[in-house]
Amino acid sequence: MCRTLFESPTHCIKKFEWVSNMSAFYALLFTVAFLVLVIGLAKKIIQYSRVPAPLKIPVTPAPLTKGGVAVRLAKEAIMFAALFRSNKWTWLFGWMFHMSLFVVLLNHLRFFIKDVPLPLVLLQNVGEYAAFTMFIGLTGLLVRRIFVARVKYISAPSDYLWLILLMFIGLTGIVMRFISHTDIVAVKEFSLGLLTFNWQSLPTDFPLMFHLFLVAVLMILLPFSKLLHIPGLFFAPSRNQVDNPREKRHVAPWAMELDAEKNKMQPK
Amino acid sequence: MADFETPKFREYPVVPQIKSDVMAGKGPFVSRAEFDTDLGYPGELPDDWKEKTLDKMQDLLGRYRSFQVFMDSCIKCGACTDKCHYFIGTNDPKNMPVARQDLLRKVYRRYFTFAGKYFPKLVGAVDLTEDVLDEWYNYYHQCSECRRCSVFCPMGIDTAEVTMAAREILAHVGKAQKYSNQIIQKVYKIGNNLGLPGKALKGILEDLEEEVEEDTGVPVKFNMDKEGCEALLMTPSADFFAEPHIDGLIGYGKVLHELGITWTVSSIASEAANFGLFIGSYDNIQRVSMRIREEAIKLKVKRIIFGECGHAWRVAYSFLNTLAGPFDFLDQNYPVPQHILEVTYGALQEGKLRMNKEENDHLTMTFHDSCNVARASRMGDKPGGQFDIPRAVIQAACNNYVDMDSDTIKDATFCCGGGGGLLTDDLMELRVKGALPRMEALKQVTEESGVTNIAAICAICKSQFTKTLPYYGFEMDAIMSVHQLVSEAIVMTGSEQEKELDGVGDEEEAKESED
C-alpha cells in the first residue's frame, strides 16, 4: 500500500495515521448509516401500519382473497405491472435499473458472508454486468426526466440528484471492477469487521472512497426521501385491500368510536 | 353560450403539449356559510387559517393511511402524467395527476418532513400561503376523483384520496364548494339532491304507473314510503325526472314487477347519491348513508337495491356496510346492498325475463364504463363483474353492440368529465374539455362500427353527456340508460307486447308485428 515507506518513514507514519482515521471514519459512517436506515425505515413502517384505513378503497377489479392480494402486490413489486401498462419506456428503464440494482446488491452480499455460498459465486459471473444495465437504466430515466416536458415539469432538484447519485455509485463500482481494481480482500475484511465491531482498515483508493461515501449518503437519506416508495408500495390501500366489503364489515378504530357516538338505529 | 373553444378531435391520441396555467382561475363558486354550517364547517376563512389548515392536514394524515402513504411514496416517474382526461382536454400541467397531488405534497413536505423543513428548495417544498389555498381550491375542483391515474401508478397512488383530503381541508377553512355542499344540505333537509319534496315525488311516481300501464297494459307499481315491501329501491333523484334517467327507472320497475319483487322508494331517503364522498367528509358520507339504514328499518324491507348511479354504487358497495352496517336485519340470501343490474342479470341467467331484442334493432350500442363502478366497486361474485354484467344485460336487450377502444373502457375507462362534484354549470368549460377522450373514443366507433348510441349506468354520466355530446357534434339523446334498453325489450307477462308477439291479441296487430 505504501511504497513511500522506504523513501520517507516519517511521511508514511503520518499517512498510516491518516489511513486509520479514514477507516475509522468510514466504519463509523456505515454504522451510523445502517442505524439511520433501519430505525428510519422501521419508524415509517410503524407509522404506516398504525394509521388506519377507515374505508375499503381497493382499485378494482381487485382480488377477493388475501392470497390474491399477495399475488397482486408481487406482480407490482417484481414486474412493475402497472407501470408496464402505463408507459413502456419508463417501465423498460425503471425495471432494468431496479432489477440490476437487486442483482448488484446480491453480489455485494459476498462482502458480508465469510464463506460465499455457491449460488452467489455462480451469480458473480453474470452479476458483474448488472452494473452496466443499472447504469443504462438510470441514464434512460435521467434523459426522460430532462427531455420529456411533462416529466421535467414535475421534477424537483432532488429528483435529478437521486438519479445522479445512483449513477455515480454504479460508475465507481464499474471503475473498481473493470478498470482500477481495488483490494477487495481488504474491503471484505473491513465489511466483515463492521458486522462484529472489529473495525479494520480500508484501502484508500479514490473510487472506493467515493463509492462507499455515496452509498452511505443513500442509506442515510432513504428514510427521509421519496425512496420511501419501497415500503409505500406495500402499504397502499388501493392495492393491498381485499375486495370483500359486502361480505365482511370493515371498520377502523376511530370510525368505530364515531359509530358508538352516533347511537345507530336498530330494528325493533 | 360559452367563452371557450371545444377541443378539436385529435387525429391520433398523441400526448398533449403542456400549456402552463391555462386553467388557472378561481375555481367553482365557493359555498355560502348557510350551506356549510349545517355540514360542520365554519363557512368563512378564519383568522388562524394557516394553523387550522395544517392542523387539519395533520389530522387527516393520522386518520387515512392512503393519504399518509401517498404523500410519501410518489417517485415522480411520470407514468400518470398523460392519463387524466382533464389534462388531455385542457393541457394544463397542473391537471397531471402527480402535479395535482404535488400542490398538497409540497406543503406536506414543508411542514411535515425533515427534508422539506430544512431543504425546501431541494425537494420542491413551499410555504403555505393564501395563494396556495386558492390554487388548491381551483385545481382540486378540476379532479373528478375517477381513479384512472391510480390504475397506472406503480405505487398505487390514488389522486382521488388526495383530492378528497384537500377538499376536506379547504372546507375546514371556509373554502368549500357551493354545488356539493348545497346539494348535501338539500339531502338533509328534503331528502334528495334535487330538493324534490315527497308530494311531488309521489305525483311523479303515480304518473309513471299510469304511463307504463298505458304502454303495456300491466299495472307496474312505483311505490313510495310503502311499508312491508320486499325491497327498498335507492336510486339517484335524477331518475325521477331527467332524460334518459327516468327511462331507466321505468326499466327497473318493469324488471322488479316481472320478478314479483315488491319495492318502494323512500321520500326521506329519495336519493342514492352521496356527495359526502366528493367533499371527502367521512362524517357526511356516514350521515347521508345512515338515512338508508333508518328507512330500511322503518319500511321493514328485506333487501336494498340500488339503481344506476356510479359514485352511489361505490359508496353502497364499498362503504355502506362499514358506515351504516351491520345489516343483519335484512335477508342474507341477497347481497347487501344489491345493484339493479345484478338483479336483472341474475334473472336473465335463470331465464326469468323474456326479452324481445328486435325492439332495439334500430340501435347499435356501446357502453361507457362509469369510473366509480369500474374502479371502485364490483358486481356479481367475480372481479370484473362490473364490466361483464352491464354488457351482458345490454346484449340481452339489444342485438347490436360494439365496445369502444380497449384503452378507454373497463378499468381504463375515461371519466365522463362531470363526476366528483363537478357537474355544475360554473364548471362548464372544464366539463366540455374533460369529455374529450370519451368523445374521441365514441367518435371512432360511430365512424368505424356505426354505433348510434352510448349507454351508461350513472346519473352523472347521463347528465354530463346530455350536456356535452352536442359540443362534439353528437345528438344529446345519444346517451341512454342501460335499463332503458331493458325497458324497451322486456316482454312482461300479460303485457300488450306479449300478446303481440304470441299472436293472441288483436289479429291485425299480430299481422303487423309479423311484417
Over the stretch B460-475, which tens digit does the pLDDT of each residue have? 999 999 999 999 999 9
Q: pLDDT tens digit string along B231-270?
A: 999 999 999 999 999 999 999 999 999 999 999 999 999 9
Tell me if B297 and A265 make a contact (CB, 8 A cut-off): yes
pLDDT at A2: 41
Q: If you average pLDDT over every residue of chain B, what do you get? A: 95
CA distance B15 to B82: 6
% of chain B beyond a pLDDT of 70: 97
Q: Which of B102, B283, B317 sits opposite A154 (nearest CB)?
A: B102
Q: pLDDT tens digit string along B164-223?
A: 999 999 999 999 999 999 999 999 999 899 889 999 999 999 999 999 999 999 999 999
Local structure of B231: helix, strand or coil: strand
Q: Hey, is the C-beta of B113 within 8 angstroms of any chain A C-beta?
A: yes
Instruction: Kindly report the nearest CA distance between residue A84 and chain B, in angstroms.
Output: 8
Contact B429, B435 (CB under 8 A): no
pLDDT at B98: 98
| Best B57, B69, B113, B145 residue to mutate vs chain A (most A CBs within 10 Å) | B69
Domain ranges of chain B: 33-176, 185-489
Which bin fits B300, alpha (ψ -120 to 50), beta or left (φ > 0)? left
CA distance B85 to B77: 19
Tens of pLDDT, residue by residue, chain A (268 residues): 344 444 444 444 444 555 578 899 999 999 999 999 999 999 999 999 999 999 999 999 999 999 999 999 999 999 999 999 999 999 999 999 999 999 999 999 999 999 999 999 999 888 889 999 999 999 999 999 999 999 999 999 999 999 999 999 999 999 999 999 999 999 999 999 999 888 889 998 999 999 999 999 999 999 999 988 999 999 999 999 999 999 999 988 777 777 665 667 788 7
Q: Which of A56, A63, A238 sits opposite B158 (nearest CB)?
A: A238
Written as nine digits, the cell of A222 is: 432513504
pLDDT at A253: 79
Tell me if B153 and A82 make a contact (CB, 8 A cut-off): yes
pLDDT at B356: 97
pLDDT at A21: 86
Interface of B with A in 420-479 (CB under 8 A): none
What mean pLDDT do residues B406-416 have?
97
Return the higher-pLDDT residue of B366 and A16: B366
Residue in A with minimal Cα distance to B337: A246
- CATH 1.20.950.20 is the classification of domain A4-242: yes
Neighbours of B20 (CB within 10 A): 11
A250-254, B139-143, B491-495, range with the lowest pLDDT:
A250-254
Q: pLDDT tens digit string along B423-432?
A: 999 999 999 9
pLDDT at A255: 78
Q: Which of B299, B236, B229 is nearest to B261 (CA)?
A: B229
Instruction: Kindly report the nearest CA distance between residue A229 and chain B, in angstroms.
Output: 4
DSSP state letters, B46-92:
-TTHHHHHHHHHHHHHHH-HHHHHHHHH-----TTTTT-HHHHHH--
Residue in A with minimal Cα distance to B326: A249
Q: pLDDT tens digit string along B34-66?
A: 888 888 898 899 999 999 999 999 999 999 999
Which positions ≥6 away from B203 have C-beta within 8 Å? none
Task: Report the topology of domain B33-176.
Answer: Fumarate Reductase Iron-sulfur Protein; Chain B, domain 2 (1.10.1060)
DSSP code of residue B14: P
Residue in B with minimal Cα distance to A62: B383
Q: Which of B65, B75, B378 sits opposite A52 (nearest CB)?
A: B65
Which ranges of A175-265 does DSSP label H, i.e. alpha helix?
184-195, 206-221, 229-235, 237-240, 253-262
Return the higher-pLDDT residue of A31 and B512: A31
Q: How far is CA A52 from the centre of its chain?
A: 26
The size of the A-B interface in CB pairs under 8 A is 219
What mean pLDDT do residues B346-360 have?
97
Contact A97, A175 (CB under 8 A): no
DSSP state letters, A17-51:
HHHHHHHHHHHHHHHHHHHHHHHHHHHHHHHHHHS
Q: Which of B153, B290, B325 sits opposite A249 (nearest CB)?
A: B325
Instruction: Kindly report the nearest CA distance between residue A184 and chain B, in angstroms.
Output: 34
Tell me if B147 and A59 make a contact (CB, 8 A cut-off): yes
DSSP state letters, B405-432:
-GGGSGGGPPP-S-TTT--SGGGHHHHH
* B334 contacts on A by Cβ (under 8 Å): none
| Best A150, A220, A248 residue to mutate vs chain B (most B CBs within 10 Å) | A150
Q: Hey, is the C-beta of B305 within 8 angstroms of any chain A C-beta?
A: no
* A226 contacts on B by Cβ (under 8 Å): 72-76
Local structure of B263: helix, strand or coil: strand
Instruction: Kindly report the nearest CA distance between residue B280 and chain A, in angstroms.
Output: 12
Burial class (CB in 10 A: 0-12, 13-18, 19+), A52: middle
Instruction: Kindly report the nearest CA distance between residue B512 and chain A, in angstroms.
Output: 47
pLDDT at A259: 67
| Best A238, A242, A257, A258 residue to mutate vs chain B (most B CBs within 10 Å) | A238
Tell me if B375 and A59 make a contact (CB, 8 A cut-off): yes
Interface confidence, given as ipTM, is 0.93
Tell me if A161 and B157 make a contact (CB, 8 A cut-off): no
pLDDT at B107: 98
Tell me if A157 and B282 make a contact (CB, 8 A cut-off): no
